[in-house]
Amino acid sequence: MKPQEKVDEDIKSIMEEVLNRVCYAKTEMCKDEPMQDNPPLLLIAVESNEDNPDHDGALEYQKENNLSLPYHIAVVPLIHKENVLEAYDEVVHALPIRPFSFLLLCVEGYMRNDVSEAEETEWAGDVNRNRLFEKDYKENPFSTVREGIVFTAVDWSGSHIWNVTSLYRYDDKGVPVFDDEPTCTVSEVDENEEVGGRIPDHLLATVAYMHLAVNALAYKDLLNEAPKRKTKE
């Protein structure tokens, strides 16, 4: 299996595993208080090693989910700002400068499966898209908009974007009933085309920023390591 294929399989497996946890948490919360939303979550995965005090846990997680590598995964609820992307940006700027395996952002939102290609192009990255869908969902009795949990992930190479969407409807008690199968897609990033969508844009911008920051830090280390020049007596 090629390295990129291993990354593909690892990310898909982890997204499915986390999705299972998120759906369970939402269901249990809604049993206590109907129609509750999950908080947005940022997951940051790095390859674990023996220097990590939780390395044994990473090895166990690798075995349980049939992963190619042991990962240490940090989970950050993005609850300190009303705007999820503003909260995301603050967390990113506080991250240590180091390579990561992948980033994953989980949010709840509104979506339509019958969006035309023209509409998809027109709305790509539109900040009002989710609000428009929400308005249609709540005010239009014939709306085709659905509620769902959306995962978006990028790896360290920034060459692919992974999406997993799990749609649901609330039952009479306000508890979500999820569709049997989530929708999973992987798309290759074309540097000559806009990705479209605020979340993929932010994730890819983070990859670009961290690459620059890692290289800048390495260069600074070289400057500090340079031998002292000999001075004329």
* pLDDT tens digit sequence for 35-48: 999 999 999 999 99
Answer left, alpha or beta for residue 94, where phi above 0 means left and psi between -120 and 50 means alpha. alpha
What are the backbone angles phi and psi of residue 184, rounded to the nearest 5°?
-120, 135
Q: pTM, whole model, 2 decimals? A: 0.84
Highest mean pLDDT among 100-104, 114-118, 129-133: 100-104
Which pLDDT belongs to residue 57?
Answer: 95
What are the backbone angles phi and psi of residue 78, rounded to the nearest 5°?
-95, 75
Which pLDDT belongs to residue 192?
Answer: 63
- pLDDT over threshold 80, residue 114: no
Cα–Cα distance measured from residue 129 to residue 126, given in angstroms and rounded to the nearest whole number: 5
Mean pLDDT for the chain overall: 87
Residues constituting the chain = 233
- pLDDT over threshold 50, residue 23: yes
Residues 6+ apart with CB under 8 A from 43: 14, 18, 73, 74, 75, 76, 103, 104, 105, 106
Q: In Å, how far are 12, 18, 137, 141, 170 from 21, measured between CA atoms?
A: 14, 5, 26, 31, 18
- pLDDT over threshold 90, residue 10: yes
Cα–Cα distance measured from residue 89 to residue 207, given in angstroms and rounded to the nearest whole number: 12
Give SS3 for 60.
helix
Predicted confidence (pLDDT) per residue in 96-106, tens digit: 999 999 999 99
Q: In Å, how far are 15, 81, 162 from 110, measured between CA atoms?
A: 19, 20, 18
DSSP assignment of 64-86 equals HTT-SS-EEEEEEE--SSSSHHH
Position with higher pLDDT, 135 vs 117: 135
pLDDT band at 125 (very low <50, low <70, confident <90, very high): very low
- pLDDT over threshold 70, residue 233: no
Mean pLDDT of 112-130: 54
CA proximity to 193, closest of 219, 221, 225, 161: 161
Task: Quote the crossing angle between the two packed helices 198-225 and 84-93, to the nearest 10°.
Answer: 10
Give SS3 for 191.
coil
Position with higher pLDDT, 89 vs 139: 89
- pLDDT over threshold 70, residue 115: no
